[in-house]
Structure 1
Amino acid sequence: MRDRVGQVRVVAVVAAVVLALLGACTGSPQPPGPQRPTEPVAPLGQALAAALTEGSLADVPVDDPERAAAGLTEILRGMDGLRPEVTAGQARPAGEMVDVPLHLVWQLGTQQWTYDTVATFQPQAGAWVLRWDPTVLHPELTATTRLVHQREAAKRGRILGADNIPLADLLPVVRLGIDKSRMDADASTASAARLAQTLDLDVERYVARVRAAGEKAFVEAIVLRGRGEGVPDEFYDIPGALLLRDEWVLSTRRGRAEAVIGTVGDATAERVAESEGRIVGGDRVGLTGLQLRYDEQLRGVAGHTVSLASRGPANTPGASPSPSAPEASPSTSTEPRPLVLVDPRPGTDLVVSLDAVLQDRAEAVIAEHPSATAMAVVQPSTGAVLVLATNPAAEGQALANTGRFPPGSTFKVATALALLRAGMTAETALECSEFITVHGRRFKNYTDFPRDRLGTMTLRDAIATSCNTALISQHARLDGPQLREAAASLGVGVDHDSGFPAFYGSVPDPVDLVGLAAAEIGQGTVEASPMAMAGLTASVATGRTVVPWLVESAEKPTPSGKPLTAGEAAALQSMMRAVVTSGTGRTLSSVAVGAKSGTAEYGTENPPRTHAWMIAYTDDDLAVAVMIHDGQSGSGDAAPLIKEFLA
């Protein structure tokens, strides 16, 4: 009996042990885990990609929205507004969670920085939510680090002239202005007025700019070349006046070819918006002239660095560590570590044909003339533009290459070519009368035409003396197309895109015989720039069509006019030679082989106002044109300037 009871007890103990083991294997009843959401994760991955591209998690369900929003803001605050383009891949299970691979592309100027990360979604309250982790933005980010972008502007290319002499380069300057952070508002106004008076600026305008600027702003008044040698002593006594040293791209000599070369300055908001990220606020870009036309080439490509840097103090918003984010190492939290480097690519120099010595000489010759004056010089043998000069009275307008003016009697060279092609020779006799009437319109010679030269003369003498009536008397021999073709043979009246702002002239068909008569003497609707007329002069000098060009790398313009024959060239050369031997250009006989004067009427005043022209070529490969706005006569006003230039 006792044995049986003992056996029962043993069985009971064994059963208890077995039950205990079974309980240990199956587990005691536990609270149910998070229910796996039924909705797909893919749409959330797409939403996250769009949200990161926009830089906001507002539309994405997150485990800790406040921490995630603060963390994202902190990570991106040093990225200068850059945002990645993010695309989501195929979601894949990861235990109770789901991973979504992300592909990030950052546009750094013209180059891209790309890499992959993973976003994890976890169940929460019956739905999928993003498990926030800084590694969503970059695999090496932690709860205490962020991304920092630095942009390095490229060194701007130079503009080089003949013999690679720099015409525009990076030069030292000083920027003078008022630093409002050094004083209160009332004091800054008084200092602004003193500074404007000291620098001879518009006091009212500068004071208004200082008042409108922020309380900590530096308000620039003027930029001076050099390292401060020309700063007035009074400047240093003005409270709040500040001198900042800098470098700017400038003409290597003040004013040298500035209307053509152009200027460089701060990019406008419009330029920034149009650049698709290539230009940012604060960049210096070409504003006018060649600096604008070739800005992309000269500006180069900026460099970029993105570094892993410390967020700062440990209590930075959003910096509390996530379960999988390791703490930043001491080196990461103190020294930024580059993740990607894109070196800047310097701008490429622009080479032009301007000759610095001749350009300086031309500008010095015309500088003091009270009226707007322009001079252009072309090399007949090559067509290279050697000089494009304007004086201060031109107020920065590129009149030498873009001016549109009636060329007056200088255009008679083209008319003479048209008459040669119509059957005349340099010896053909013409009648030079005091007046001539065409369809009711009376034409006359220029005011000082010598009366003793009236009467019968050759075509050569008509060009030499610049007799209007002699040429107009032959209007029945010509029509508009003939005149236009002759001009094109001398490089005038045909447009070309030769890589720089240029007006090659316009010779439209006249509407009637009166218009044709006016066109024959360079009036009416005929227009040209000094450069175009220098090209005409070069064509006569070399005996072939010359179309001026300036930029070495640009495609050279191709002549489209009927080629000059040897006989035509010789006849035109004899006519222009007669101008300096016995005609209106005798003052140039010591410096020029051939020339032609011109006076062009314009406007509606009575008597009309006039432009003064003179063109000339030499035996040492120079063709020159000068135009004086509001000049009295080519021989009296323009010729002396050419003589001084060529002497």
Structure 2
Amino acid sequence: MTNRGRRRLPRGTRAVRGARTRRRQGASLAVCAALVASLTTGCWAEPSAMPAVRDFLIAWQVGNYEAAAGRTVGIDKRQVEDALSRVRQQLDAASLRLSLGTQVKGSDVDQIVKKGDEADARFTVKIDLGENGQPWEYPGLMHLRRIGGKWKVVWSPSIVHTKLKPGQRLAVVTEVPKRAPITDTQGRSVLQAVDAFMVGVYPGQLADPQKTLDLLAKQTKIDGGRRLDAERLLGRVQSAPPQEFLPLLTLQVPTHSKLIQRLNRVPGIRFQAVKAPIAPAYAPELIGGLGPATADRLQQVGAPYQPGDTIGVSGIQLLQQRRLAGTPTVRVVAQDETGENTEELRSWPGQDPQAVRTTLDPGFQRRADFALNGLTYPASMVAVRPSTGEVLAVSNHGTNGQNLAFEGHYPPGLTFGIVSAEALFSQAGMNQSTKTTCPGKVTVGNQTFVNKARPDGPFSTHFATSCKTTLAQLGSKLDAQTLVKEAGQLGLGQNWGLMVPAFTGSVPTPADEGEKAAAMVGEGKVEVSPLAMALVAAAAQNGTWKPPYVLSDIPKTVQAPAPQNLRPESISSLKKLLGRNAKFGNARGARVSGDVVGVAALATYQRDGATRTVSWFVGSIGDRAFAIAVEGRVNTPQLAARFLTGTARGAG
């Protein structure tokens, strides 16, 4: 794909044009003084061509094109003014600096060579095409003639660049490589081609470029008011080859149908229908989307991207923008108005895009999406592979674009019993058969817990019947720091080094016995995400907590924590506890086969002044662990059964 127009080189973030203009003026005045000093040395004998060369270069550099043209002969002065003023425009340059003399093969050559009434002056041009990088530097040559005793610059386009011919202009051509795909664990793209329009202009056909781009920016309100930067777009359009289509937006149909209709009324805007692989086939909240490079988005992705580009705006598409998009090849060319005769003056090679491979398994992903389909509440689900930490499926339903499967903040309720039980088994000498009580009401510290009273019996029975009072009382067997430490052993509150945003959970150290009892039953200040609980289930199944990963071929920027080996005795008891729960307890609706283990729970909490409810299922089967969270009262074991079977079994 070739996208022609001004593009900054990959040298860092570029400032807005207004600030850049002020810097140009200040820098030009400072350099002007230096230039005068350098040009007035040498003590040339009269009559010298030096003053004419000096005045022409200084006037050109500081933007006094009328004064520069006044030092020339050969064509109408206004044509010279126009030609000089367009150099910065045609390159969308941040700055232009001129100095007398050049170097050839590292040796100084004569600055001015005079022969009678004719002279040649060598100079150097430095043009900054993008801040924070080396400028484009090249040698220049001008011819002078003494007329009526005064030296004049004989105007020629070759003064701008030695290869520029009459009728030609400078232009910046950007060759944008095809964006690389995001793939699943089998190496197949997770993106699907959809109908879209490339919205752009033919720069040479715009009657009033400023008006067109102002209207484009005004009409283009994206994601809550973000707009394109009209002034920076103008620089891009002015530097583009005038005869070629310059794309400025890619808009998906029918998602942006209303915007497309509004832009159709903007004079000079043109549309090209395309079929573009820009929409995620699944897990859109994780994969992310593509969109226009608005000013604030450009601050995130930096150079060499600019207004008019289609870039990643969310999810992996944004986080891995540079890898997926690569960087463009930029060429400065001299060309006539038809574009047929083009000569390259300088080029900067780009970098090829690279695919990003995820650990998502399309089979498990379909099942996860199916499990949540049709719910009337926001819901999210994660499936992981306990033996490796791979994330196999990420599903969000009704979450308004939020990846709550990774980033949700919920109280875990009695699913946190997996953590509490592991701590009791490893630190308090308990097992699933330890005798416990389940009163209907118990007060610990300043916290009161209520549930249906059950007869005394083994811990596994009270766990299976969701006895909150049992766990609340058993908190006395653990000190606060031990509970928090055991939660950390299961990854809660740790930095996973996941490379995509995720909430790893929060288990603050309880301040008193009441807070500790609340933490034991997954209430109070304890918060988790579905991914965090899926990893807890994975550790209970595997015996080792392993950090999750969803990008399988990207070097980590943050070191992931080491796997945490849990005590074999506590894991053995934990597996029996969860197995009995799936067979006889609150998770039995998910027991589609004998090796399903898990726990279901309902937790209520206060948020934004309202009482809310989250329904959980956390469990595993073989080398697959998963967690489901639904923001409402639903039968989560039935949802788990839908996921495990891939059918509507038990979904009534």
Query: Pairwise mapping of residues 518-597 of structure 1 onto structure 2 (< 5 A)?
Result: 518-554=518-554, 558-559=560-561, 563-591=565-593, 592-597=595-600
Alignment match of 1:377 (pick from 383, 397, 402): 383
CA distance 1:401–1:121, shift in 2 (3 Å) = farther
Confirm or deny that 1:155 pairs with 2:178: yes
Match of 1:6 in 2: none
CA distance 1:56–1:277, shift in 2 (3 Å) = farther
Match of 1:472 in 2: 472
Q: Deviations over 1:315-342 (max 9, x none)?
A: xxxxxxxxxxxxxxxxxx9622333455
Q: Which letter does structure 2 place at the counterpart of 1:68?
A: V
Q: Which letter does structure 1 place at the counterpart of 2:253?
A: L
Following the alignment from structure 2 to structure 1, what is the Cα–Cα distance between the partners of residues 608 and 90? 64
Q: Secondary structure at the match of 2:617?
A: strand
Q: Deviations over 1:121-160 (max 9, x none)?
A: 7789999876544323211113332212222222111100
Query: Pairwise mapping of residues 174-193 of structure 1 onto structure 2 (< 5 A)?
Result: 174-175=196-197
Q: Which letter does structure 2 place at the counterpart of 1:303?
A: T
Q: Which letter does structure 2 place at the counterpart of 1:224?
A: V
Following the alignment from structure 2 to structure 1, what is the Cα–Cα distance between the partners of residues 53 and 462? 89
Of residues 522-531 and 561-570 in structure 1, the stretch that sits farther from structure 2 once superposed is 561-570
Match of 1:336 in 2: 342
Q: Which letter does structure 1 place at the counterpart of 2:47?
A: R
Match of 1:609 in 2: 612
Of residues 267-276 and 454-463 in structure 1, the stretch that sits farther from structure 2 once superposed is 267-276
Following the alignment from structure 1 to structure 2, what is the Cα–Cα distance between the partners of residues 369 and 424? 39
The answer to whether the 8 Å contact 1:488/1:561 transfers is no
Following the alignment from structure 1 to structure 2, what is the Cα–Cα distance between the partners of residues 277 and 83? 17
Following the alignment from structure 2 to structure 1, what is the Cα–Cα distance between the partners of residues 586 and 488? 25
Confirm or deny that 1:269 pairs with 2:295: yes
Q: Secondary structure at the match of 1:394?
A: coil
Following the alignment from structure 1 to structure 2, what is the Cα–Cα distance between the partners of residues 627 and 612? 6
CA distance 1:250–1:624, shift in 2 (3 Å) = same
Q: CA deviation at 1:463?
A: 2.5
Q: Which letter does structure 2 place at the counterpart of 1:551?
A: L
Q: Secondary structure at the match of 2:380?
A: strand
Alignment match of 1:425 (pick from 425, 431, 435): 431
Q: Which letter does structure 1 place at the counterpart of 2:476?
A: A
Match of 1:644 in 2: 642
Q: CA deviation at 1:508?
A: 1.3
Following the alignment from structure 2 to structure 1, what is the Cα–Cα distance between the partners of residues 457 and 579? 16
Match of 2:322 in 1: 296
Match of 1:324 in 2: none
Query: Pairwise mapping of residues 364-443 of structure 1 onto structure 2 (< 5 A)?
Result: 364-391=370-397, 393-420=398-425, 421-443=427-449
Q: Secondary structure at the match of 1:476?
A: helix
Q: Which letter does structure 1 place at the counterpart of 2:477?
A: R
Query: Pairwise mapping of residues 219-298 of structure 1 onto structure 2 (< 5 A)?
Result: 223-224=252-253, 244-253=272-281, 256-272=282-298, 277-298=303-324
Q: Which letter does structure 2 place at the counterpart of 1:428?
A: T
Match of 2:195 in 1: 173
Q: Deviations over 1:609-645 (max 9, x none)?
A: 32000011102x110100001x22xxx5211111011
Q: Which letter does structure 2 place at the counterpart of 1:476?
A: S
Alignment match of 1:599 (pick from 581, 597, 602): 602
Q: Secondary structure at the match of 1:374?
A: strand
Q: Deviations over 1:525-584 (max 9, x none)?
A: 111111111111011111111222111124576445853021121111111111112211
Alignment match of 2:114 (pick from 92, 95, 99): 95
The answer to whether the 8 Å contact 2:538/2:624 transfers is yes
Following the alignment from structure 2 to structure 1, what is the Cα–Cα distance between the partners of residues 99 and 521? 70
Query: Pairwise mapping of residues 116-135 of structure 1 onto structure 2 (< 5 A)?
Result: 116-119=139-142, 132-135=155-158
Q: What is the alpha-carbon root mean square deviation over aligned residues?
A: 4.1
The answer to whether the 8 Å contact 2:468/2:521 transfers is yes
Following the alignment from structure 1 to structure 2, what is the Cα–Cα distance between the partners of residues 479 and 251? 50
The answer to whether the 8 Å contact 1:35/1:123 transfers is no
Unpaired segments of 5 or more residues in structure 2? 1-44, 102-107, 206-224, 226-246, 646-652
Q: Deviations over 1:359-415 (max 9, x none)?
A: 122112212100000010001111100011011x21111010111111111111111
Following the alignment from structure 1 to structure 2, what is the Cα–Cα distance between the partners of residues 625 and 615? 4
Match of 1:68 in 2: 80
Q: Secondary structure at the match of 2:504?
A: coil
Q: Deviations over 1:187-223 (max 9, x none)?
A: xxxxxxxxxxxxxxxxxx9xxxxxxxxxxxx999973
Following the alignment from structure 2 to structure 1, what is the Cα–Cα distance between the partners of residues 173 and 137? 17
CA distance 1:362–1:574, shift in 2 (3 Å) = same
CA distance 1:628–1:142, shift in 2 (3 Å) = same
Q: Which letter does structure 2 place at the counterpart of 1:628?
A: V
Q: Secondary structure at the match of 2:635?
A: helix
Equivalenced residue count is 533
Alignment match of 1:36 (pick from 36, 39, 47): 47
Q: Which letter does structure 1 place at the counterpart of 2:413?
A: G
CA distance 1:162–1:112, shift in 2 (3 Å) = farther
Q: CA deviation at 1:106?
A: 5.8
Following the alignment from structure 1 to structure 2, what is the Cα–Cα distance between the partners of residues 479 and 58? 83
The answer to whether the 8 Å contact 1:492/1:535 transfers is no
Q: Deviations over 1:24-55 (max 9, x none)?
A: xxxxxxxxxx953698899769846xx54x76
CA distance 1:101–1:601, shift in 2 (3 Å) = same
Q: Percent identity?
A: 24
The answer to whether the 8 Å contact 2:496/2:548 transfers is no
The answer to whether the 8 Å contact 2:53/2:121 transfers is no
Unpaired segments of 5 or more residues in structure 1? 1-33, 182-204, 206-217, 313-332
TM-score by length of 1: 0.73
Of residues 37-46 and 303-312 in structure 1, the stretch that sits farther from structure 2 once superposed is 37-46
The answer to whether the 8 Å contact 2:546/2:563 transfers is no
Q: Secondary structure at the match of 2:285?
A: helix
The answer to whether the 8 Å contact 1:172/1:225 transfers is no
Match of 2:237 in 1: none
Following the alignment from structure 1 to structure 2, what is the Cα–Cα distance between the partners of residues 343 and 298? 17
CA distance 1:367–1:546, shift in 2 (3 Å) = same
Following the alignment from structure 1 to structure 2, what is the Cα–Cα distance between the partners of residues 37 and 340? 34
Following the alignment from structure 1 to structure 2, what is the Cα–Cα distance between the partners of residues 625 and 63? 78
Following the alignment from structure 2 to structure 1, what is the Cα–Cα distance between the partners of residues 435 and 475? 15
